[in-house]
Amino acid sequence: MRTPSGGRARVRSDFPIFAREFDGRPLVYLDSAATSQKPAVVIEAVADHLRNHNANVHRGVYALAQEADAAYDGARRAVAGFAGAQTDTTIFTKNVTEAINLVAYAWGRANLGPGDAVLITQAEHHANIVPWQVLCRERGAALRYLEVDENGELSLAALDAELARGDVRLVAFTHVSNVLGTINPVAEMTARVRAAGAVSLIDGAQAVPHMAVDVGAIGADFYAWTGHKALGPTGVGVLHGRREILEAMEPFLTGGDMIASVDFQSATWNELPAKFEAGTPMVAEAVGLRAAVDYLGRLGMDQVRAHERALTAYMLERLAQVPGLRVVGPAEADARGGLVSFTIDGMHPHDIAELANRAGVCIRAGHHCAQPLMRCLGVNATARASVGVYNEPADIDALVDALVRGREIFGL
Ligand SMILES: Cc1ncc(COP(=O)(O)O)c(C=O)c1O
């Protein structure tokens, strides 16, 4: 990967956490799908904002308040531009979970009723399942699932068949599965959903940090993602929406900046995007996310994808050398984001993660907030290793060494 200052080592050294050691071993971090590590520029941007530019936003006339306004509004412009979206249809939320809930509450409650259906896929994170369950139960609508095949992929023909039933009002699906790694054909899917007169929502939590995402070109009605997986701070997520839908929607939460005027019995709403941002927003976090997307932009998202694709291909190749190890999801790195979930015969995924931990390797084990998918896969849990811009082939080697030693400890 090229960087402004050149070289892979430079990328890793941009992240202060890699100076840490655990029991004398360097940190091997393979859990970026859970949350990414943060480059110094992000940490410093947040600290600088709090230290030098802090004031509430959109309320003050004094110079410091105007600096805070400029920082927050500038963050929105940069984040929207990074994702190929328009600034005033880009809404800051707490995380992607809140962004999806915003749509379920504010769009769903006004537009769904008995006889209508929401279509999601078997590969969704709970954040893109439970809001629709609650909505459908409340509104008397049906919740249906698109199947994932044995290769971890969706079928466009099955999507067409569901849409042909005529009752689907909203289709919500992940861009990249956080368990299977599958990159879904999102532009083809949104085109079909739109042609059927339904609304599309994409969960981009595992996509935006790892590949060039152009929300405008994808054509989704709603596209949501989360800052902390994209090198940014926790506490900030993003919802990009189609203007005419956002304008027609009632607010999600009320109070503060989302208000234009208030009378004793009623109120009117502010313009986009303020209409969907109640109360004091996450100013420092948005500033941090701006520093994160600026950093990713300097690396170049095509370079980020190429680097992580190569690491994923290497991980698939090396994991195949571990006896009894089974990978879930597509066999080819081209069809995947930078994560690989797996099981090892005779070892519980939590034991796999603990043995990796003893070697200083951080991986995740569990259901990955995708319990329905676990049921489809016929497992309770998997281990998952996931990469970021700072990983190197040596990190994969450390994982594989730990797995091989772990099998020996288990007498396998
Ligand atoms: C695909 C996907 N969707 C949603 C989420 C939830 O993200 P957050 O907790 O930031 O809302 C995650 C993260 O775990 C995820 O991987």
The predicted-structure confidence for 265-281, as pLDDT tens digits, reads as follows: 999 999 999 999 999 99
Categorize the per-residue pLDDT at 7 as very low, low, confident or very high, splitting at 50, 70 and 90.
Answer: low
Return the residue matching tokens 């990469």.
Answer: 387
CB of 249 within 6 A of ligand 1: the answer is no
pTM of structure: 0.97
271 Cα–ligand 1 center, Å: 28
205 Cα–ligand 1 center, Å: 6
Eight-state DSSP code of residue 366: E
Residue from 93, 94, 96, 223 whose mutation best tests the ligand 1 pocket (most atoms within 8 A of CB): 96
φ, ψ of residue 167 to 5 degrees: the values are -110, 0
Report which protein residue has its CA nearest ligand 1's atom 12: 205
Return the residue matching tokens 């609508």.
Answer: 141
Length of the chain: 412
Report which protein residue has its CA nearest ligand 1's atom 16: 178
Active site residue 362: no
Q: Which pair of structure tokens corresponds to residue 359?
A: 């070697």
Q: Which residues pair with 92 in a beta bridge?
A: 238
Cβ burial, residue 334 (10 Å; 0-12/13-18/19+): exposed
Tell me what the mean pLDDT of segment 161-178 comes to. 98
For 92, other C-beta atoms within 10 Å of its C-beta total 25
Distance CA 136, CA 130 (A): 10
What's the whole-number average pLDDT of the chain?
A: 96
For strand 21-22 and strand 25-26, is the pairing parallel, antiparallel, or unpaired?
Answer: antiparallel
Angle at 246 between CA 244 and CA 249, to 5 degrees: 110
User: Domain spanning 8-30+300-409: which superfamily?
Assistant: Aspartate Aminotransferase, domain 1 (3.90.1150.10)
Q: Which atom of ligand 1 is nearest to the CA of 174?
A: 1
Fold entry, domain 45-297: Aspartate Aminotransferase; domain 2 (3.40.640)
Tell me what the mean pLDDT of segment 117-142 comes to. 98
CB of 178 within 6 A of ligand 1: the answer is yes
Q: What is the pLDDT of residue 65?
A: 97
Distance CA 66, CA 11 (A): 34
Return the residue matching tokens 């519980």.
Answer: 348
Residue from 369, 373, 382 whose mutation best tests the ligand 1 pocket (most atoms within 8 A of CB): 369
Q: Which atom of ligand 1 is nearest to the CA of 177?
A: 1
CB of 96 within 6 A of ligand 1: the answer is yes
Go through 57-76 and write b for each residue having 16 or more CB atoms within 10 A of its CB, e for each that does not. bbeeeeeebebbbebbeebb
φ, ψ of residue 187 to 5 degrees: the values are -65, -40
Helix (H, G, I), strand (E, B) or coil at 227: helix
Helix 283-299, helix 40-48: angle, nearest 10? 150
Report which protein residue has its CA nearest ligand 1's atom 15: 205
Categorize the per-residue pLDDT at 255 as very low, low, confident or very high, splitting at 50, 70 and 90.
Answer: very high
Q: What is the pLDDT of residue 81?
A: 98
Distance CA 219, CA 137 (A): 28
CB of 184 within 6 A of ligand 1: the answer is no
Q: What is the pLDDT of residue 59?
A: 86
Where do the structural domains in the chain lie, given as residue ranges? Answer: 8-30+300-409, 45-297
321 Cα–ligand 1 center, Å: 30
Distance CA 235, CA 242 (A): 23
Return the residue matching tokens 């969706």.
Answer: 154
Q: Which atom of ligand 1 is nearest to the CA of 234?
A: 10
CB of 125 within 6 A of ligand 1: the answer is yes
Q: Which atom of ligand 1 is nearest to the CA of 369?
A: 14
Q: What is the pLDDT of residue 79?
A: 98
Q: What is the pLDDT of residue 1?
A: 55
Angle at 399 between CA 398 and CA 401, to 5 degrees: 65
Helix (H, G, I), strand (E, B) or coil at 340: strand
Q: What is the pLDDT of residue 223?
A: 99
Helix (H, G, I), strand (E, B) or coil at 251: coil
Share of the chain above pLDDT 70, in %: 98
Cβ–Cβ < 8 Å for 315, 385: yes
For strand 168-174 and strand 117-121, is the pairing parallel, antiparallel, or unpaired?
Answer: parallel
Q: Which residues pair with 164 in a beta bridge?
A: none
